[in-house]
Amino acid sequence: MAKKRNEDEKGKVYGLRGETTPQEISYTLESNYMPYAMSVIVSRAIPEIDGFKPSHRKLLYTMYTMGLLTGARTKSAKIVGQTMSLNPHGDAAIYETMVRMARGNETLLYPFVDSKGNFGKVYSRDMAYAASRYTEAKLAPISAEIFRDINDMVEFVPNYDNTMQEPTLLPTAFPNILTNANTGIAVGMASNICSFNLAEVCETTIEFIKNPEHDILSTLKAPDFTTGGELIYNRTEMEEIYKTGRGSFKLRAKWRYDKKNNLIEVYQIPYTTTIEAIIDKVSELVKAGKLREVSDMRDESDKQGLQLAIELKRGTDPDKLMQKLFKLTPLQDSFTCNFNLLIGGNPKVLGIAQILEEWLAWRIECIRNQVFADLQRKKDKLHKLKGLRKILLDIDRAIAIIRETEEESEVVPNLMIGFGIDEIQAEFVAEIKLRNINKEYILKRVAETEDLEKEIEDLEDLLNSKARIRKKIIKALEEIAKKYSEPRKTEIVFDADIEEFDVTEQVEEYAVNVFVTKHSYFKKITPLSLRMGGEHKLKDGDEIFQTFESTNGAEILFFTNKYQVYKARLSDFDDTKASVLGEYLPAKLGMDEGEQVVFTCLPGDYSGNLIYVFENGKVARVALSGFVTKTNRKRLTGAYSAKSPLIAAFKIDGDEEFVLYSTENRAIVFSASALTVKSARDTQGVSVMTLKTKYKVCNAMRLSESSIQNAPRYKTKSIPAAGARLNDEDRLDKQMTLL
Query: What whole-number distance in Å separates Cα of residue 618 and Cα of residue 696?
Result: 10
Query: What whole-number distance in Å separates Cα of residue 674 and Cα of residue 692?
Result: 23
pLDDT band at 407 (very low <50, low <70, confident <90, very high): confident
pLDDT in tens, 187-211: 888 899 999 999 999 999 999 999 9
Which CATH architecture is the domain 503-730 placed in?
6 Propeller (2.120)
**CA torsion sign, 457 to 458 to 459 to 460?**
positive
Query: What whole-number distance in Å separates Cα of residue 542 and Cα of residue 540?
Result: 6
Q: Is the pLDDT of residue 232 over 90?
A: yes
Which CATH architecture is the domain 254-330 placed in?
2-Layer Sandwich (3.30)
List of long-range contacts for 443-447, beta carbons under 8 Å, 24+ apart: 445/385, 445/388, 445/389, 445/392, 446/389, 446/392
pLDDT of residue 1: 37
The answer for residues whose C-beta is within 8 angstroms of residue 160's C-beta and 6 or more apart is 86, 88
pLDDT of residue 330: 94
Helix, strand, coil distribution of the chain in percent, nearest 5: 35, 25, 40
The answer for residues whose C-beta is within 8 angstroms of residue 643's C-beta and 6 or more apart is 614, 616, 684
Alpha-carbon separation of residue 195 from 43, 373, 596 (angstroms)? 22, 34, 47
pLDDT of residue 503: 53
Q: Is 473 exposed, middle or buried (CB count within 10 Å of its CB: 0-12, 13-18, 19+)? A: buried
Catalytic residue selected from 134, 160, 510, 606 = 134
Query: Are the CB atoms for 482 and 214 separated by under 8 Å?
Result: no
Q: Which CATH number fits domain 52-171: 3.40.640.10, 3.20.20.70, 3.40.50.1980, 3.90.199.10?
A: 3.90.199.10
3-class secondary structure per residue, 212-249? CCCCHHHCCCCCCCCCCCEEEECHHHHHHHHHHCEEEE
pLDDT of residue 7: 42
Give me the chain's average pLDDT, please: 88
Which one, of 142, 243, 261, lies nearest residue 202 by Cα? 142
CATH topology of domain 357-483: Topoisomerase; domain 3 (1.10.268)
Q: Is the pLDDT of residue 5 over 60?
A: no
pLDDT in tens, 710-723: 888 888 888 888 88
pLDDT of residue 147: 95
Query: What whole-number distance in Å separates Cα of residue 60 and Cα of residue 447?
Result: 41
Each domain of the chain, given as residue ranges in start order, spans: 52-171, 254-330, 357-483, 503-730
Provide the terminal-to-terminal Cα distance of the chain, rounded to the nearest Å. Answer: 69
Query: What whole-number distance in Å separates Cα of residue 49 and Cα of residue 171?
Result: 10
pLDDT in tens, 611-667: 999 999 999 999 998 888 766 668 888 889 989 989 889 999 888 889 999 988 888
Q: Is 55 helix (H, G, I), strand (E, B) or coil?
A: helix
Q: Is 468 exposed, middle or buried (CB count within 10 Å of its CB: 0-12, 13-18, 19+)? A: middle
pLDDT in tens, 552-570: 888 899 999 888 899 988 8
String of b and e for 313-323 (b: at least 16 CB within 10 Å)? eeebebeebbb
Query: Are the CB atoms for 241 and 178 separated by under 8 Å?
Result: no
Query: Are the CB atoms for 229 and 318 separated by under 8 Å?
Result: no
Query: What whole-number distance in Å separates Cα of residue 86 and Cα of residue 57?
Result: 10
pLDDT in tens, 69-124: 998 999 999 999 999 999 988 899 999 999 999 999 999 999 999 999 999 999 99
Query: What whole-number distance in Å separates Cα of residue 88 and Cα of residue 161?
Result: 10
Classify residue 714 as left (phi > 0), alpha (psi -120 to 50) or beta: alpha
pLDDT of residue 241: 96
pLDDT band at 386 (very low <50, low <70, confident <90, very high): confident
Query: What whole-number distance in Å separates Cα of residue 551 and Cα of residue 526?
Result: 9
pLDDT of residue 314: 87
Q: Give the torsion through C-alpha atoms of 477, 483, 484, 486, to 10 deg.
A: 110
Return the percentage of the chain with pLDDT > 70, whole number: 94
Global pTM reads: 0.70
Which one, of 147, 44, 150, lies nearest residue 97 by Cα? 44
Return the percentage of the chain with pLDDT > 90, whole number: 51
Counting Cα atoms < 13 Å in the Cβ hemisphere of 477 gives: 26
Q: Is the pLDDT of residue 281 over 70?
A: yes
Q: Is 591 exposed, middle or buried (CB count within 10 Å of its CB: 0-12, 13-18, 19+)? A: buried
Q: Is the pLDDT of residue 325 over 90?
A: yes
Other CB atoms within a 10 A radius of the CB of residue 173 amount to 22
Query: Are the CB atoms for 545 and 518 separated by under 8 Å?
Result: yes
- Angle, helices 76-83 vs 91-101, to 10°: value is 120
Query: Are the CB atoms for 181 and 107 separated by under 8 Å?
Result: yes
pLDDT in tens, 470-524: 999 999 999 999 999 999 999 999 988 777 665 555 667 788 999 999 999 999 9
Q: Is the pLDDT of residue 16 over 50?
A: no
Q: Is the pLDDT of residue 738 over 70?
A: no
Q: ω before 720 within 30° of 0 (cis)?
A: yes
Q: Is the pLDDT of residue 9 over 70?
A: no
441 catalytic? Reply is no
Higher pLDDT, 605 or 7: 605
pLDDT of residue 739: 41
H or E stretch covering 348 = strand 346-349
Q: Is 26 exposed, middle or buried (CB count within 10 Å of its CB: 0-12, 13-18, 19+)? A: exposed
Q: Is 40 exposed, middle or buried (CB count within 10 Å of its CB: 0-12, 13-18, 19+)? A: middle
Higher pLDDT, 169 or 21: 169
